[in-house]
Chain A
Amino acid sequence: MSDAHSHDAIKKHRKIYLIVFFSLLAGTALTVGLYYVHFEKLSTTVTVALIVATIKASLVAAYFMHLSHERKAIYSTLLVTAFFFAAMMYLFIYARTDVPLETEFPASNYVPYSRTPAK
């Protein structure tokens, strides 16, 4: 059992767990609130939403999963995972650009109901 799992340390951590819990709820409220703020660019919306999600995920990993004070063996495992995860993401996204030069995608040809002129 690591020092971080000792009786006193656990007692101290219980307060932190509750702080993290309320932070996660606040983060969720922020994410939903930001949805109603219409950013001009889609890329801004995506970036902001993913930053908030990453902060929330980091809090879960660091405190609930105890990654802020874990053993080296676990960090090593996660480092290898992170490398392969990043490589996979890169390959998938790179595939998007894997089209012949000067390829033109056809413009949208659909007519949404709300834009149909009233008859």
Chain B
Amino acid sequence: MEIPYTVKARPDTGLYNAKIGIWLFLASEVMLFGALFSSYILLRVGADPLSWPQGLLNIPIGTFNTAVLITSSVTVVLGWSALKMGNFAAYRKYQAVTVLCAAAFLVIKCLIEYPEKFGHYEVWKADGTRMTGHIEGNPFFLTHKKLQEGKIESIKFQPDKKHYNDKPPADAKGGAAKPSPVEIKTADIKRLSAFTPAHGTFFGIYFTLTALHGLHVLGGGIVIAYLWGPGAKLWKTDPERYANRVEVSGLFWHFVDLVWIFLFPVFYLL
């Protein structure tokens, strides 16, 4: 059985079916990300302004990843346009860059950014003091409970220059003073948490949204890589249909880029 309107436009919509299909899917995606974004706004405006984590994400890495996604978006559309002009070799080059960008984005996110957070801590002391920093040996996912269970009596803690976006104390030269490492007794700790989803609402929603976005990057990257590799056989038999498939995968990819355009300032900069 032949699938109708894979190339020719349907008379009522003026579009081939896959195109109207992807736009309906993207509409549902808008609602999915919109629900999570509005949850973020609600949590943000309802939080105590002083205790909302700020300035803890790596801005240079986030900026680089933004540039990576923007680059992948332009190579997708240039690849598709090369295909529409019959230049399959150019299409392949552009889409190879897209797949590499997708892989680079995920590697940076999963192997650099996330682990950076798993070894970065906040400690709540019994006297009410709170500080962020790193524990000697850079362990991941340590908690107060684990310290007690492991009978660890104290930790050597290197505090950050400032807590969240609080103004750091100045040194003699007027710059931010680097605090000396401190020994903190387990008995003096009220709570210890790495910057994982369990830390609080900010990291809860940060990991939910960025991981969901990361899954979209993974899914889109796999589809684009398939069309670039084994799926490219269709170009020889039905080039128009193949170009339409590339266009549909590209529309999804641009949506992924579009979501990141909002995620980046909201989490990293505000």
Contact = CB atoms under 8 A, between A and B. Distances in A.
Specify the main secondary structure of chain B where it touches its partner: helix
B70 A71 contact: no
Given A18-B74, A111-B130, A53 B261 contact: yes
Q: Which of B38, B255, B266 has the most chain A CB within a 10 Å cutoff?
A: B38
Interface stretch (B104-112, B163-171, B222-230): B163-171
B269 A92 contact: no
A28 B12 CA distance: 40
Contact of A65 (B48, B167, B251): B251
The number of chain A residues touching the other chain, given as a range, is 35 or more
Interface string A14-46: 100110110011001001101100000010011
Given A18-B74, A71-B13, A114 B42 contact: no
B258 A74 contact: no
Contact of A114 (B12, B50, B71, B168): B168
A34 B167 CA distance: 18
Interface of B: 9, 12-15, 19-20, 23-24, 27, 30-31, 34-35, 37-39, 41-42, 45-46, 48-51, 59, 63, 66-67, 70-71, 73-74, 76-78, 81, 84-85, 127-132, 159, 161-164, 166-169, 179, 240, 250-251, 254-255, 257-258, 261-262, 264-266, 268-270
